[in-house]
């Protein structure tokens, strides 16, 4: 006898209910969810400097109308320029673009859905090693990113102190910190 998931997959009635430049809204068997257009994956990077500081980013996020402190992260294959890039290549590119750090090593750690009830996005965590600062960072032309380097021994208390009416903390940071040894 098939499981509910197997049955749903076989009888799925998928309807596009809205499509924008970056997102498509889908209705399937009573569910409504979002999927990104032309993205092959999402990466988040855990980067710790030689002097044991974790590298974080901060930027304004219009959906929550606040600045958000996050791990360096980004989309893979989201433009023609990056079509077909591997997740590791995207992780290296995003780390450099957002923080100015180049990594000698980049190791895939784990992956999974960001919000399984809301969208199709799957995030893969990477650990960057052998960091070397080569540019200022700050993101691309569409971004205004502040880079934070926070001592590992105080990062949890620093994050809690930063949370306010104007700043949110992305909880994926705490997942990333789990992998820091």
Can you say whether residue 44 is alpha, beta or left, with left for phi > 0 and alpha for psi between -120 and 50 degrees? beta
How far, in Å, are 13, 82, 102, 156, 174 from residue 171 at the CA level? 34, 28, 24, 11, 6
Q: What mean pLDDT comes out for the span 54-69?
A: 96
How far, in Å, are 9, 24, 71 from residue 31 at the CA level? 13, 14, 30
pLDDT at 19: 95
Q: What mean pLDDT comes out for the span 54-81?
A: 92
CATH T-level assignment (fold) for domain 41-178 = Nucleoside Triphosphate Pyrophosphohydrolase (3.90.79)
Residue 9 scores a pLDDT above 70 = no
What pTM does this model have? 0.88
Cβ pair 34, 120 in contact under 8 A: yes
pLDDT at 4: 47
Give percent of the chain with pLDDT exceeding 70.
93
Task: Return the domain boundaries, the chain.
Answer: 41-178
Torsion of CA 77, 79, 80, 82, to 10 degrees: -40
């Amino acid at each position: 006898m098939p499981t509910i998931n197997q049955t749903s997959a076989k009888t799925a009635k998928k309807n596009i209910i809205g499509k924008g430049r970056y997102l498509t809204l889908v209705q399937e068997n009573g569910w409504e969810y979002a999927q990104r257009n032309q993205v092959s994956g999402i990466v988040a990077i855990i980067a710790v400097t030689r002097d044991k500081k974790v590298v974080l980013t901060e930027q304004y996020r219009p959906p929550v109308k606040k600045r958000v402190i996050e791990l360096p992260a980004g989309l893979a294959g989201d433009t023609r320029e990056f079509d077909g890039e591997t997740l590791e290549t995207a992780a290296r590119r995003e780390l450099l673009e957002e923080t100015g750090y180049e990594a000698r090593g980049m190791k895939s750690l784990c992956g999974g859905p960001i919000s399984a009830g809301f969208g199709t996005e799957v995030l893969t965590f990477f650990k960057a090693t052998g960091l070397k600062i080569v540019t200022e960072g700050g993101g691309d032309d569409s971004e205004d990113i502040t880079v934070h380097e926070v001592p590992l021994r105080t990062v949890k208390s620093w994050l809690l102190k930063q949370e306010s009416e104007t700043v949110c903390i992305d909880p994926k940071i705490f997942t990333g910190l789990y992998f820091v040894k």
